[in-house]
Amino acid sequence: MGINQPYLRKNHYLFIISLLTLFTFIILFLSRSLDDNRLASWQWAFQKTDASNIFLIITAGIFLSFIMSKISFRIKSPAIFLFLISFIIASVFWGEPEVIVDSSRYFTQAKHLEIYGVRYFVEEWGKNIDAWTDMPLVPLLYGLIFKIFGENRIYIQIFTTILFSMTVAITYLTGRRLWDEDAGFIGGALLLGMPYLLTQVPLMLVDVPAMFFLMLSVFAFIKAMEKGRWLNLFSAFTIALAFFSKYSAWLMLSVLVVVFMVYITRGSGVNETIKPEHITRKYFLRGSLIALFSIILIGIVFLYKFDVFMEQIRLLITYQKPGLKRWEEGFLSSFFFQIHPFITAAALSSLYIAFKKKDLKYAIIIWMVLLVLLLQIKRIRYIIMVFPMVSLMASYGLKEIADREVKKFIVLCAVTSSIIVAVFSYLPFLKEMSAVNLKQAGEFLNSTDDSSIEVFTILPADPVGSLSVSVPILDLFTKKNIIYKYDDKRFRPPREEIERSSLRFTWEYRNPRYYFENGRSDRNTAIVLISADPEEPFPENVKNRLDGYYLSKLFGTYEEIFQYRTTVRIYHKKPG
C-alpha cells in the first residue's frame, strides 16, 4: 500500500500550526508584562484567570478548528454569513459595563436630542451641549435611537454590533473587489481574531462606528470609481459621514487619494477588461466629482459650526496631541497581544508578496497602517479604524497558501483562540472593574419602587478625576428619574494639574440642566451616593440629607488596578 505523500505533508502542516497556536498563547502569557494596553492588558486580565483552563479550552478550540477545516461546504451569501456570525459572537460581550468614562459624553449628547429634539441638538451642539473633542454624527445617531426606540442601552448595543458586523461584511466585499473571494472572506473573518476589538463593540463610544463609516467610505469610493453615476453622490455622502464620525478619521481618509491614484496609474484600475486609454479620463472625472460633492457636504456642516470645530481643533493640538506621549501603548501590545500574532505575521508576509508582484492595489490596504507606524500613533483606540486593513493585509498574505484546508485551519485557529481569550479572560476582568458598580446599581434601582433618585457625588481627598461624569453612566443603566443635587468640589485640583490630567474632560464636564430640573424629592425618592471609596467621609450637608435614611445597598467591586473608581451606595427612607 503506497503512502499518500501530499496527505501526509498536509497533516504535518496542520500539526505544526496546532503547536504554534498553543505556543503562541504560552509565549504571550509568559511575556504578559510587556502588554501595556491601558484597558485589557494581559498582565491584568490574567491576574485572576487560571491560564491552564484557557490553555485547555484553546486546545479544544484547535480540535474543533481541525474538524471544521476538514468540512467543505459552499456558503451562498458570504457577506450575510460573516455578518450573522460576527453579530452572534459580539453579542456575548453585551453584559460588560461601560468601562470607559468617555461614554458619559456620548450619552449626554444623545439624551439632549431625545429630550429636546433634533433641532435643539443641531443648534446647541457645542454650545449648551458640551462637545469636548467629539464629532457630532455618532451622538446624533445615538440620540435618534433613544428618540425612536426609547432610552435603553440594549438598543445602542444592537446598533453598534450591527455596525461592527457590517464592517466585517464590507471588509469581505472590499477584499473580493480588489482581489478575489478568498482574500475578502479571510479578511472579514480575521476581524474576529482581534480580542480587544470585540470588547469595544458593545460600548457607547464612537470608535466602532467610526471604523464602520471609514471602511464604508473606502468601499463606496472604489465602487463609485468603477461604476460612476449615482454612486458618485453616495460615495461623497459616506465620506462626509466618516469625516464627522471622529477627528482621527480625517487623517485616514487620505487613503481615498491612494485609491484614486491607483486607478489613474493603472488606467483600468481593478477592472482589467477595460482598456486603460478609454477609462483614465473617466476615472479622473469621477474622482473629481466625488471630491467636489464631498467638499460641499462637509463644508455646509463645518461652516455652520465653524467656531466649535476650531475650538476643538485647538484643544486637540494643545492637549490631545502632547498627551499621546503620556498615554501611549506600544505597537507590541496592539499588534501581538490585542491582535492575534498569526494575523500580524501574515500581514508582514504580505509586504514581500505584494512587492514581488508589484501589486499597486496593495497600496490601498497598507496606506493607513503605514500612517500609524510612521506617525507613531501608539493609542489603540485611535487606530481601531485601521484594523480592517490589517486583516486585509493578513488575508493577502494567507491567500498565497495553495492548500485551502491549511489556510482555513490557520484562520480558524487565530479566530478561535482570540475569541476564547476575549470571552474567558477579558470579559470576566472587565466585569470586575469598578465601572460595574454603576451598572449593578442601575439594575438594582430598576427593581425598586422608588419614584426617583437623588444623586450626590463625593470626591476623595486626592481625586484622579471628577465623579460627576458617573451620573450619566448611572442614568444609562436605570429607568428611574434622576435628580442631581450635589457635586463635591472640595478637593478639586489646581487648574494646571487639570490641564495635564488624562481625565481632564471629567473636570470640565458639566452635567446638563435636565438633572437639576427633574422635580423635587419625596418619600419614595432613593438617595444615591457615588464616591471613590466606600469609606469616604461625607460632607456635612450630605450627612444632614441622609438623616432618616438607612444604607440599603452597597456596590463596591474594585479590581485594584485603576486609580479612577466608582463606588455606589443606595439609601432608602427608614420605615415608620
d(CA 458, CA 486): 8
457, 528: one domain = yes
408, 446: one domain = no
Select from 224, 104, 223, 106 the least CA-distant residue to 174: 223
166, 307: one domain = yes
pLDDT tens-digit profile of 73-108? 788 899 999 999 999 999 999 999 999 999 999 999
* Residue 275 confidence (pLDDT): 53
- Asked, for residue 81, whether it belongs to a domain, the answer is yes
Select from 316, 417, 357, 363 the least CA-distant residue to 17: 417
Quick one: how far is CA 94 from the chain centroid? 13
Q: Where do the DSSP E strands lie in 43-122?
A: none
Q: How many structural domains is the chain composed of?
A: 3
- Asked, for residue 1, whether it belongs to a domain, the answer is no
* Residue 327 confidence (pLDDT): 75
Greatest Cα-to-Cα distance within the chain, rounded to the nearest angstrom: 92
Q: What is the pTM of this model?
A: 0.94
- Asked, for residue 106, whether it belongs to a domain, the answer is yes
Beta bridge partners of 549: 573
- Asked, for residue 3, whether it belongs to a domain, the answer is no
- Asked, for residue 4, whether it belongs to a domain, the answer is no
d(CA 250, CA 54): 40
- Asked, for residue 275, whether it belongs to a domain, the answer is yes
**What is the DSSP pairing of strand 481-487 with strand 452-458?**
parallel
**Quick one: angle between helices 276-304 and 255-266, nearest 10?**
160
406, 304: one domain = no
106, 85: one domain = yes
Select from 400, 370, 423, 420 the least CA-distant residue to 186: 400
Task: Tell me if residue 236 falls in helix, strand or coil.
Answer: helix
Cell of 454: 437623588
393, 417: one domain = no
Q: What are the CA-CA distances from residue 127 to residues 2, 13, 116, 121, 566 (Å)?
A: 80, 61, 14, 10, 29
> 404, exposed or middle or buried, with CB in 10 Å at 0-12, 13-18, 19+?
exposed
Residue 270 confidence class, pLDDT cut points 50, 70, 90: very low
101, 181: one domain = yes
pLDDT tens-digit profile of 218-256? 999 999 998 888 999 999 999 999 999 999 999 999 999
Tell me the Cα Rg of the chain. 26
- Asked, for residue 324, whether it belongs to a domain, the answer is yes
378, 413: one domain = no
66, 131: one domain = no
Beta bridge partners of 570: 528, 553
426, 452: one domain = no
pLDDT tens-digit profile of 479-500? 999 999 777 788 888 888 888 8
Specify the residue for cell string 486585509: 392
Domain extent at residue 482: 436-573
pLDDT tens-digit profile of 522-553? 777 899 999 998 887 888 888 888 999 999 99
- Asked, for residue 5, whether it belongs to a domain, the answer is no
Select from 547, 542, 551 the least CA-distant residue to 571: 551
* Residue 576 confidence (pLDDT): 66
Mean model confidence pLDDT for the chain: 92
d(CA 410, CA 389): 19
Beta bridge partners of 481: 452
pLDDT at 438 exceeding the cut of 80: yes
Long-range Cβ contact pairs of 226-234 (< 8 A, separation 24 or more): 226/269, 226/270, 226/271, 228/282, 228/286, 232/286, 232/289, 232/290, 232/293, 233/293
Mean pLDDT of 432-453: 94
- Contact between residue 111 and residue 151 where contact means Cβ atoms under 8 Å apart: yes
pLDDT tens-digit profile of 286-330? 999 999 999 999 999 999 999 999 999 999 998 877 776 777 899
240, 298: one domain = yes
Residue 268 confidence class, pLDDT cut points 50, 70, 90: very low
133, 223: one domain = yes
d(CA 287, CA 447): 56
pLDDT tens-digit profile of 93-149? 999 999 999 999 999 999 999 999 999 999 999 999 999 999 999 999 999 999 999
Task: Tell me if residue 526 falls in helix, strand or coil.
Answer: strand
pLDDT tens-digit profile of 380-434? 999 999 999 999 999 999 988 988 999 999 999 999 999 999 999 999 999 999 9
DSSP label of 457: E
d(CA 48, CA 37): 17
